[in-house]
Chain A
Amino acid sequence: MSDNLYELKDIHKLFVKGREPVEIFDGLNMTIKRGDFISIMGPSGSGKTTLLNMLGGVDKPTQGKILFDGQEIQSLGEGKLAKWRAAHIGFIFQFYNLMPMLTAAKNVELPLLLKKLSAKKRKENVEAALALVGLSERAKHRPSELSGGQQQRVAIARAIVSDPDVLLCDEPTGDLDRATATEILENLQQLNREFNKTIIMVTHDPVAASYASTSLHLDKGEFVERDVAA
């Protein structure tokens, strides 16, 4: 097994805005190692979220290759990509994206419904994931009965419950106050350090970025600077 989890080779991404084509990436190359905790910062329109989407297989490059564990993912069809995401990727969104009509436990269970697991095993996994984020007591609460920080922790539990290789976080603390954001970032750091999860986090917040082992700055589709946290 190679140390490189992702390899992005000569990535081009073209959008058509109005009638004008806009090139977001023009030959981007990047390697992400297994167990990395990478933050990606940059101004609006720099391509952060587009990059995250391509890494998660929800968007495709116009040209170039994205290799995940040596497998090209940009050429997979929708069905195979969905299965690939279910097997390898956990998403954490800025606005949590929980299902409002389901309890915390049912929200966390969602990714497990895509796997061949018994109801008992699913229940055990859900309880373990909620315990990891400190929300065992809130399993039967609906999102509307939880604070923003608690909702994001439910979202983290949902992202890790199926034991994915990678967590892709899109502004995971963007909607939270500082104290709550710190709790969430510590959760992510713990997942990276204790469970060796590869984490790629898009953020505008330098404090959030400082929790990552590697901080990348994107501007006009290029990495302009690369910091490694101490």
Chain B
Amino acid sequence: MKQTKTVVSMSLLSLPQRGWMAVTVVVAVAIVVAVLLAFLAMADGFRNTVNNSGSEALGLVLRAGSQAELNSGLSGDQVRLLRDAPGIKHDDAGPVTSAELYVVVDGTKKSSGTSANISLRGMELDGLKLRPTVDIVEGRMFVPGKNELVVGAAVADKFTGFALGDLVRLGKAEWEVVGVFSANGGVYESEIWTDVRTVQTQFNRGNSFQVVRFELETPGDIKPIQEYVDENPQLNMDVFTEKRYFSDQSEGVFNLIFYIGWPLAIIMALGALSGALNTMYTSVSQRTREIATLRALGFGGSSAFWGTMAESMVLALIGGVTGIVVAYLFFDGMTGATLGGNFTQIVFAFKITADSMVSAMVIAVIIGVVGGFFPALRAARTPVVKAFSLEQ
């Protein structure tokens, strides 16, 4: 044990002799860890945003077979029939529902000046009641029949021309921004809302809708509505709870981010591994005489092995921690935007979780172990006669 401790401390003390090579390994591992964490933070942040947007107390219907609101279509008659379905909560004004129409409009991103899709959602006034996480934080709600918009906080923040009071041209008409709402970081913050009848008129959609939202009498229980839809041949619809709908919507994007992140990190890790191997072989080569001398003095091969492994592990761990710190400082809480299931921008915050940090450190440790193992074997097998070598 004393032998190993001594050789380990000697390996670490001699690190400055290999300064730049050691720094290279640390940087390479840090980059791998930071890139992996960036992708995992993106995936986790996206999922978190979408999950925060769904509720079990709410439900929605789309045309049967539609994967998203954008390719759904419901007629005015279908919407009227659906409002009579059992399982939908009623208040004094009748069933709590909002028939909605969803169109994609262009916006200009402040960050790049490029144009990107934004969702313009036409809704009924109950639409606000059906989104309990939403608060109007500036201005007021739109007035039905007028070209007035309320915009999500992320849209106001990330896109040009959507501040309170701005006039913006969407389609053929000019609209006034009369309010800004927040949605607890959820996907709605990436939308613009207005009156559904106005959207139908301005975008020539007749009496059509794409989705009907409603409050459930019993949270999570869509069975009565599903049975009502199944029994009524005019209602060719799929029924979801809102939570389930958002979860389905996010899965594809989440998987895309997740499964790009890991392979990319693994490919980069192979590069870092080759750097670690190179550095550690150089380390063993530079210390051949030292190692052989220790062996000549009676030190065992295992102490040389663990000395080299310790050096590799220390470099990898420093790189891993550096990568985590860098990723945390640069990415945690950073907002990004990506295409959602409706081909519109969803703005979300990157989220670096403890699980992601553990995954990143596992990668760093693997680089350290594999990068150190083979050079350590060489160190352990260093012939003792090398101590007598004339080569310096």
Contact = CB atoms under 8 A, between A and B. Distances in A.
Interface stretch (B58-66, B333-341, B343-351, B380-388): B380-388
A79 B297 contact: no
A130 B290 CA distance: 21
A170 B3 contact: no
A67 interface: no
B14 A100 contact: yes
Contacts of A52: 388
Q: How large is the interface on A (under 10, 10 to 19, 20 to 34, 35 or more residues)?
A: 20 to 34
Contact of A91 (B10, B17, B297): B297
Interface stretch (A19-27, A108-116, A182-190, A212-220): A108-116
A113 B293 CA distance: 14
Interface string A58-74: 11000000000000000
Contacts of A95: 289, 392
A93 interface: yes
B293 A93 contact: yes
A141 to B, nearest CB: 15
> Interface residue tally of chain B, by bracket?
20 to 34
B297 A85 contact: yes
Nearest to A56: B296
Contact of A86 (B6, B297, B392): B297
Interface string B8-19: 001001100100
Contacts of B6: 110, 113
Interface string A102-140: 100000001101100000000000000000000000000
A114 B385 contact: no
B294 interface: yes
Given A91-B297, A97-B293, A113 B3 contact: yes
Contact of B298 (A49, A59, A94, A114): A114
Nearest to B6: A113
A25 B52 CA distance: 83
A85 B299 CA distance: 9
A82 B303 CA distance: 12
Nearest to A114: B298
Interface in B344-392: 383-385, 387-388, 390, 392
Contacts of A99: 10, 290, 293
Contacts of A196: none
Contact of B387 (A78, A87, A91): A91
A59 B387 CA distance: 12
A58 B387 contact: yes
B290 A49 contact: no
A82 B380 CA distance: 13
A228 interface: no
Contact of A58 (B14, B296, B392): B296
Interface in A76-91: 78-79, 82-83, 85-87, 91
A171 to B, nearest CB: 9
A23 B108 CA distance: 84
Contacts of B297: 85-86, 91, 110-111, 114, 158
Interface string A35-64: 000000000000001001100101100000
A210 to B, nearest CB: 23
A53 B385 contact: yes
Contacts of B298: 82-83, 85-87, 111, 114
A101 interface: yes
A82 B13 contact: no
Contacts of A110: 6, 294, 297, 299
A158 B298 CA distance: 12
Contacts of B294: 110
B300 interface: yes
A158 B300 CA distance: 18
A52 B296 CA distance: 12
Contacts of A78: 301
Nearest to A170: B388
Contact of A59 (B13, B293, B385): B385
Contacts of B384: 58
Interface in B288-322: 289-290, 293-301
Nearest to B13: A101
A137 B383 CA distance: 35
B388 A53 contact: yes
A78 to B, nearest CB: 7
A54 B392 CA distance: 22
Contact of A85 (B17, B296, B385): B296
Interface in B1-60: 2-3, 6, 10, 13-14, 17
A114 B387 CA distance: 18
B14 A79 contact: no
A82 B300 contact: yes
Nearest to B15: A101
Given A53-B385, A86-B298, 9 more contacts: A52-B388, A56-B296, A82-B300, A93-B293, A95-B289, A100-B17, A110-B294, A110-B297, A114-B299
24 contacts: A58-B295, A58-B383, A58-B384, A82-B295, A85-B298, A91-B293, A91-B297, A93-B293, A94-B390, A95-B392, A97-B293, A99-B10, A99-B290, A99-B293, A100-B17, A101-B14, A110-B6, A110-B297, A110-B299, A111-B297, A114-B3, A114-B297, A114-B299, A158-B297
Interface of B: 2-3, 6, 10, 13-14, 17, 289-290, 293-301, 383-385, 387-388, 390, 392
Give the top 8 A-B pairs by smallest Cβ distance, nearest first.
A86-B298, A101-B13, A58-B384, A97-B293, A113-B2, A85-B298, A114-B298, A82-B298
